[in-house]
């Protein structure tokens, strides 16, 4: 039996592939390897996986149903799917909505359709996002909170993916689990994310901009906790007449971005040259995951704080960039 991971050259996908291989699973990886400014990093994430027994890689676009069908046909032993391939970025989604709809909505449906061709599939886990909550005023976001007022096209596409999964779970018997990720960070992370751009700015002596004047708060979640949550979900497919479940995967602590930068400054050993600005369109002032459901049903309990995770990231960043 094998696990298909879409977006396997991505930040989360590459970490998950390694974890699955470490526990003796066979992994089939799919990635388009798009040149979005991080192509070299994607190849570097893939390189150690390609050396592992039990790993098969296919280059292809998850939104291309024909390419996806070829992968599925070549591996009829796929019995679980973790769909992580997506186009990410709140601000970018507002500028290029059609690209996000194609990748995130069409891609989701293509995976659901491909799964129907696999007789053995017993669970599909897919990536959603805290962006589905929009500008929620709740102290902590619960899975049952309303999610019909997204602030960005990205958030809307991820919510659309959840609705498509719910519909397919109702029409067909395959169990599905959606995971709403909250601001994931860690080694091998995306270079466009704040923890990467801030670290680069601090180490190079360039100014960085704190949107929301440093008062915005985010539920920063370390990659090790995210992978642990994905594995817990993968091993526990939902049951019932409509086997679809959605969970938050976060750290449950809404950290001020100003403190996040202070921890980075300490790890880098120098002070940042900070600039301040209003939140841009699409950004929200606050995110925090309520974890009662995922703790009770999956046993998920995050363990990595930013005080531990950010210094480890800075150490990796220095190593990777030869600093």
Model pLDDT, residue 314: 98
pTM greater than 0.75: yes
| pLDDT single digits (tens) 222-239 | 999 999 999 999 999 999
Model pLDDT, residue 35: 82
**Catalytic member of 154, 185, 195, 300:** 154
Mean of pLDDT values over 75-81: 96
Contacts with 286 (C-beta within 8 Å, 6 or more apart), sequence order: 136, 216, 217, 254
> What is the domain-level CATH number for residue 109?
3.40.50.720
Model pLDDT, residue 173: 86
Which tokens go with 40?
């070299």
Model pLDDT, residue 236: 98
Q: Is residue 73 part of a domain?
A: yes
277-294 burial string, b = 16+ CB within 10 Å, else e?
A: eeeeebbbebbbbbbebb
Q: Is residue 321 part of a domain?
A: no
Alpha carbon distances (Å) from 314 to 80, 210, 303: 34, 19, 19
Q: Is residue 144 part of a domain?
A: yes
Model pLDDT, residue 301: 97
SS (H, E, C) 167-198: HHHHHCCCCEEEEEECCEECCCCCCCCHHHHH
Q: Rounded CA gap, 215 and 194, in Å?
A: 15
Which tokens go with 323?
């600093």
3-state secondary structure of 34: coil
Q: Is residue 164 part of a domain?
A: yes
Q: Is residue 166 part of a domain?
A: yes
117: confidence class by pLDDT, cuts 50, 70, 90: confident
As a whole number, the mean pLDDT across the chain is: 95
Which own/partner contact pairs does 307-311 have at CB distance under 8 Å and 24+ positions apart?
307/263, 308/222, 309/185, 309/186, 309/220, 309/222, 309/224, 310/185, 310/195, 310/260, 310/263, 310/264, 310/267, 311/263, 311/266, 311/267
Judged against a pLDDT cut of 80, whether residue 138 lies above it is answered with no
Q: Rounded CA gap, 158 and 132, in Å?
A: 7
154 is catalytic: yes
How many domains does the chain contain in total? Answer: 1
Q: Rounded CA gap, 90 and 283, in Å?
A: 7
- State which residues form the domain around 92: 2-184+222-250
| pLDDT single digits (tens) 287-317 | 999 999 999 999 999 999 999 999 999 999 9
Q: Is residue 116 part of a domain?
A: yes
Return the percentage of the chain with pLDDT > 90, whole number: 85
Q: Is residue 33 part of a domain?
A: yes
Judged against a pLDDT cut of 90, whether residue 268 lies above it is answered with yes
Q: Is residue 8 part of a domain?
A: yes
Which tokens go with 314?
């800075």
């Amino acid at each position: 039996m094998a696990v298909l991971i879409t977006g396997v050259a991505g930040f989360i996908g590459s970490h998950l592939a390694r974890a699955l291989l470490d526990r003796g699973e066979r992994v089939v990886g799919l990635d388009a390897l798009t040149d979005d400014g991080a192509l070299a990093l994607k190849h570097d994430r893939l390189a150690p996986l390609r050396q592992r027994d039990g790993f098969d890689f296919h280059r292809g676009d998850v939104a291309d149903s024909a390419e996806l069908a070829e992968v599925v046909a070549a591996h009829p032993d796929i019995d679980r799917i973790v769909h992580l391939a997506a186009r990410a970025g709140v601000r970018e989604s507002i500028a290029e909505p059609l690209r996000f709809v194609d990748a995130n909505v069409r891609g989701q449906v293509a995976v659901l359709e491909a799964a129907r061709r696999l007789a053995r599939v017993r669970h599909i886990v897919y990536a959603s996002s805290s962006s589905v909550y929009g500008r929620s005023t709740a102290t902590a976001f619960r899975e049952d909170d309303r999610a019909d007022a997204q602030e960005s096209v990205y958030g809307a596409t991820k919510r659309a993916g959840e609705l498509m999964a719910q519909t397919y779970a109702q029409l067909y018997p395959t169990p599905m689990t959606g995971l709403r990720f909250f601001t994931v960070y860690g080694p091998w992370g995306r270079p466009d994310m704040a923890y990467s751009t801030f670290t680069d700015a601090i180490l190079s002596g360039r100014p960085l901009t704190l949107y929301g004047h440093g008062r915005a708060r985010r539920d920063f979640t370390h990659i090790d906790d995210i992978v642990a949550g994905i594995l817990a979900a993968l091993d526990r497919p939902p049951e019932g007449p409509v086997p679809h479940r959605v969970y938050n995967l976060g750290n449950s602590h809404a950290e001020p971005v100003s403190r996040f930068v202070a921890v980075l400054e300490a790890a880098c050993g120098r002070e940042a040259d900070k600039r301040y600005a209003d939140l841009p369109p699409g950004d929200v002032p606050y995110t925090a995951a309520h974890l009662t459901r995922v703790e009770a049903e999956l046993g998920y309990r995050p363990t990595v704080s930013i005080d531990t995770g950010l210094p480890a990231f800075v150490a990796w960043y220095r190593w990777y960039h030869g600093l």
